[in-house]
Amino acid sequence: MSAVGIKVQPKTFTYTFKDVILYALGVGMSTQDEDALQFLYENSEDFSPLPTFCVVPAQAVMMDGALWSSIPGWSVDLSKLLHGEMYIELLKPLPPSATLSTDMEVVEVLDKGSGAVLTADSIHVGRNIVWHVLESVESVVPSSTLPAVSRNESGEPLFRSQWSLFLVGEGNFGGPRRSTKAVPLMDHPNRAPDASEEVVTGVDQAALYRLSGDLNPLHIDPSFAAMGGFAQPILHGLCFYGITGRVILKKYCGNDPSRFKAMKARFAKPVIPGQRLLVDMWKEGSRVYFTCTVKDTGKVCLTGGYVDIIDQEPSTSPGGGVSSTAESAVACAGLFEEMTKKVADNPDLADKVKAVFLWNINKNKSLAAQWTVDLRKGPGKVYTGPPNDGVKPNVTLTLEDEDMVALGTGKLNPQKAFMSGKLKVSGNVMLTQKLQPLLKPQAKM
């Protein structure tokens, strides 16, 4: 099979916030999840794609047809095309919206007897990037409420991907059997997992995930699935690959996509929509090894897997904080003293809220004071400064000192403050409703 060295002409792929949100839903993201709005709400201050979203533009190029038509003597038969391995490496954080240009090259074809394994490398370059908030939401949100939009057309690589595909019936052509080009798989440490998490897939998981671009009828049409040897349509491998990546992002990266650098895995067994998945994880240094098992059958569906992460949270510079004297100098300090008393008087409040809130108080757009309202568990506490012990806040609220006073006294409506840009909220915006008991009754969040 003389395919090695074949290059596909650069392809472009454009995505918007709708594609980002659809993918997140397709890999099981729920509004009930921690930090859900970061991945499901385009107007969230820190809205961003899940790191594994980069398989979507990569898939679009792979399924375009140009690659297959370039291979002499072979035409694509989706019922005989199996995804073997997948590797992604993020070179920069994924923007919420972009037009990408992708170069792809076949780097290796292995002869496995019963079939051939084709490995293709691709590099994905940002040609038209929109950060933070997309112009397309202006039809439903007044443009005056949106942060400034910045673009980057420098053509810098955003990520690269490597696909290994098994082509059934295309073997016995006398080619090499061992790979020298594929990013290697890794065995997990020989000990009990450091962490495990169970995820229940939905019966309609494949029907939803296919809307992100993989329209192979193997995942929706029972008769087509039967042609491939399956009793019923199966879940996309990249779907449970994305589910696993989402679990690890939450567990070891605090849902911070900038700390998620690369992911590799082999697709070992099929998954039926509705089955339960068990993700086992082992952490060593900046690498998280993992397996994904179909709990209903005990069969491992992802093997040799690992995610490379940035191990530590970004450090805060010595000059980045504010002193306790600064907190006492702002006009809203009395509001937080009142919050402290209310938390002490309501020891069961934390058990109802179960979240950490960071308030950034500005003066003339510069940070002047910070308070943490820690309501993870009873009795709860309020203190000056950012969260202690490296705890990540579930919600960060930022506003001017005078606006905080107006908010706390009921003179400023929180919804209007948010829509006008006076109040900026990042993280799980819905949790702010649980702050109501700590504020004046007329200042409902």
* DSSP-H helix ranges across 53-176: 55-62, 66-70
Q: Which of 255, 310, 313 is nearest to 288 (CA)?
A: 310
Q: Are 113 and 171 in contact (CB under 8 A)?
A: yes
Cα separation, 28 vs 402, in Å, equals 41
Q: Are 319 and 302 in contact (CB under 8 A)?
A: no
Q: Cα 336 vs. chain centroid, distance in angstroms?
A: 34
Q: Which of 391, 173, 196, 404 is nearest to 289 (CA)?
A: 196
Q: Which of 290, 289, 287, 281 is nearest to 309 (CA)?
A: 287
Active site residues: 214, 219, 234, 237
> Bridge-partner residues for 99, per DSSP?
14, 128
DSSP states of 334-388 = HHHHHHHHHHHH-TTHHHHH-EEEEEEEEETTEEEEEEEEEESSTT-EEEESSPS
